[in-house]
């Protein structure tokens, strides 16, 4: 049976929407982080699939990603 791992990302606005928290932990220097779409594309390159996205008043957003869990 296929098992999955999940990634929860909270995006917040500074000068633009960028990732602020990943799995509940605040990213260092998040205000300098990549644009939201660049970060989402980066996660896609790492095998993460966006499965849920929720805008919060256009100044923040939550996203959930999943990818197959490595066997072992």
CA distances 52 to 15, 29, 57, 63, 65, Å, are: 24, 25, 16, 5, 7
Which uninterrupted H or E stretch holds 44?
helix 36-45
Give the global pTM.
0.89
Residue scoring higher pLDDT (1 or 44) = 44
Q: Mind listing the pLDDT tens digit for each residue in 4-24?
A: 999 999 999 887 889 999 999
Query: Band of the pLDDT at 38, cuts 50, 70, 90?
Result: very high
Provide the sign of the torsion angle of the four alpha carbons 26, 30, 31, 36, taken in this order.
negative
How many CB atoms lie under 10 A from the CB of residue 51? Answer: 13
């Amino acid at each position: 049976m296929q098992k999955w791992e999940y990634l929860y990302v909270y995006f917040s606005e500074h000068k633009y929407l960028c990732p602020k928290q990943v799995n509940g932990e605040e990213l260092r220097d998040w205000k300098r982080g990549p644009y939201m779409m660049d970060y989402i594309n980066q996660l896609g390159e790492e095998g993460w699939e966006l499965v849920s996205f929720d805008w919060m008043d256009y100044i923040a957003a939550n996203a959930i990603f999943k990818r197959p869990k490595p066997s072992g």
